[in-house]
Chain A
């Protein structure tokens, strides 16, 4: 253990060296409160509001990198205190980590009070992970330069992941506890990975350099991977991610006489109920299913077509629900990437389904793997029992059927031949009419 007097002197040394970073960070964080920026400044360029946050994140990364780069250098303190050579960097790291956490708490608390309590945890985590990233990278490469540049991708990540959240006015519809816990759970992977990497660095001074560097990279990568995994798969405390991202659906005939609803069961999870009601005849049917389905459409008076995929399965299943017999039977299945349907269900603006009135063809639009702003359009031939990807384009708002073509309401409308599957532009020649 450190003697209190030495610890106090080391703390004073760290404070003298590090205070400009935290003052700078705190000032920027205060500046970042959008309410404190006049509208005329942020009016045409909303991203101005994100820069202070990004700069604080980068500053923490730089601080970590400088700290790591200094750890092997001889200093006044190392020469004058009777300390183990590894103890002083460990102490400096701990003090700075505490400083970053306090800054995150202060800035996040300030933001929470003025804007949205849900953002407290992400702010603390982003600053801390930026610090750890800078520290670990600089320690691996032995240069502060490497740590600084590692902060730049983090800055971009920050911009993409966080700035949209900062711009949203409030989150009244999100359960505060679940929402905060979600964020904490997700970013904790990065945090734990970074802390493990630093711990490994501090205790592995007898190992060869290459092993120490490799170990740190391994822990950091493990942390990032676990964060991504938590974010994608297990987000949510005590809740099934699919269960909450998949919304209820209702499909009704135009006269309202026949209705099918896809309902999430409260308990036991993750079961869903398909509930059909024929109001005209006073008839009902229910099916409990474990696979999330999209309601494709009524195929005749007594049959409903559904499409579903288990998250980890590389196939999409088209099934028919015989309503009078209350029996679900498979129609066919086709190959599709894993998680395709869930990506669509989680992003309601990019999934659309449509069934041709004669029930021969169906179309399905889902978010594409190839870009955040792209959507895949699948054409399903229900008689020949096969499906093909016919278009990757910007998401369309509607699908319709015209003779032997599928028409997609993409920004430049497209027409897809049902026989060849070839997509071409759908020309709209406009002539204004008086009304």
Chain B
């Protein structure tokens, strides 16, 4: 066995060195094996480490399959088990060394601010993930090298990878369990059987046997997935997967953290809702809303595209949501269109809202929903200005509240401050 190990080491050492080095460099750059406790969010560049393991594995039986070397090797006092064990154990030993070196590289080279995140759990889970994937990739590579040597074996793995990914995606859509497991197991079993019975066979015979085994496993997996236990197990496993805290999308807290807007995934659709955090009361709102934002008074402003008339383009509507006691009140701000996307200003007492666009200002009373237009820019004049100076921005550029009863804006043409006192909107 010692001599077999030595032979394997002599043949594989360049690839092993590349494998180890790749792992250490990617981890030192923060893109490889996780050492911090950050769950599944590690970099996708981590996959380069299992890839190197795959390439090392691919060389496994390559040298034996050329020039009748296998026949020579089996003529010596060694069994097929010893040859397979030497190749496998060398790879698994490198997996262990690799994860240890990666962890050391991660610890030594990660920037200081991340050091307090390095925990035993983080190191172990990163090592478990990278080690597991590398071991699987190495064994898959070894299985590939048993079928065809060198270039052809490499291509076989590439083609196999594409096929497996696509078939797994198909299985994923049909909620399968045994199919993907058996499909992953098939190359391993095929490789094992070829190591026992097929090393001295002709190349095409090995390919035929390997293909038969993979197809048989895929067929058995697909057949098993139609049985009731498969459906039961799938449901049970999935219920355990989703047992953690609910995950949301686009979580927008109000500035005072009393309310939150979030999107829940229900039946693979994102449904937005508003939540009052003090008691958890929530209400779903229109799923077509966009340009969502909180105002300082705890009101929530959303834009929505509405289809009103057949044959005419969608119109934009501005909606305001406010909690009043136990109820969530929604008002549509009339004539607002897309106003307020550019800028808006809330009165200091939080009762009125100014919405602005380049050619118009709109004042909205938040208690009644009534609106009026305190300033408007002549569109003809603006068009002339844009023609004269196309690279400049013209129109009403900004508005503000001078006091609760007085608004200010920049004149669209002179750019000077203009102050306008306001009568209460509720009065005619």
Contact = CB atoms under 8 A, between A and B. Distances in A.
Contacts of B251: 396-398, 409-411, 413
Nearest to B256: A400
A409 B253 CA distance: 7
Contacts of A402: 256-257
A132 interface: no
B36 A254 contact: no
A286 to B, nearest CB: 16
Interface in A219-275: 252, 254-257, 259
B296 A335 contact: no
A19 interface: no
B69 interface: no
B26 to A, nearest CB: 12
B346 A255 contact: yes
A45 B169 contact: yes
Interface string B127-162: 000000000000000000000001100110010001
A44 B256 CA distance: 41
Contact of B328 (A143, A336, A400, A433): A433
A344 to B, nearest CB: 14
A29 B65 CA distance: 35
A394 interface: yes
B257 A259 contact: no
B202 interface: no
Interface residues of B, number: 79
A58 B343 CA distance: 51
Interface string B299-314: 0000000000000000
Judged by DSSP, the binding face of A is: loop
Nearest to B112: A335
Contact of A430 (B114, B275, B408, B410): B275
Interface stretch (B79-87, B211-219, B277-285): B277-285
Interface in B212-252: 244-252
B326 interface: yes
B55 interface: yes
B327 A428 contact: no
Contacts, number: 182
A396 B36 CA distance: 19
Contacts of B150: 143-145
Contacts of B250: 397, 409
A434 interface: yes
Contacts of A7: none
Contact of B41 (A152, A255, A370, A409): A370
B253 A254 contact: no
B281 A431 contact: yes
A412 B36 CA distance: 19
Given A152-B51, A255-B347, A428 B58 contact: no
Interface in A115-135: none
Contacts of A411: 247-249, 251
15 contacts: A65-B151, A148-B155, A149-B154, A255-B400, A256-B400, A370-B36, A370-B43, A371-B42, A392-B114, A400-B254, A412-B244, A431-B280, A432-B283, A433-B326, A435-B330
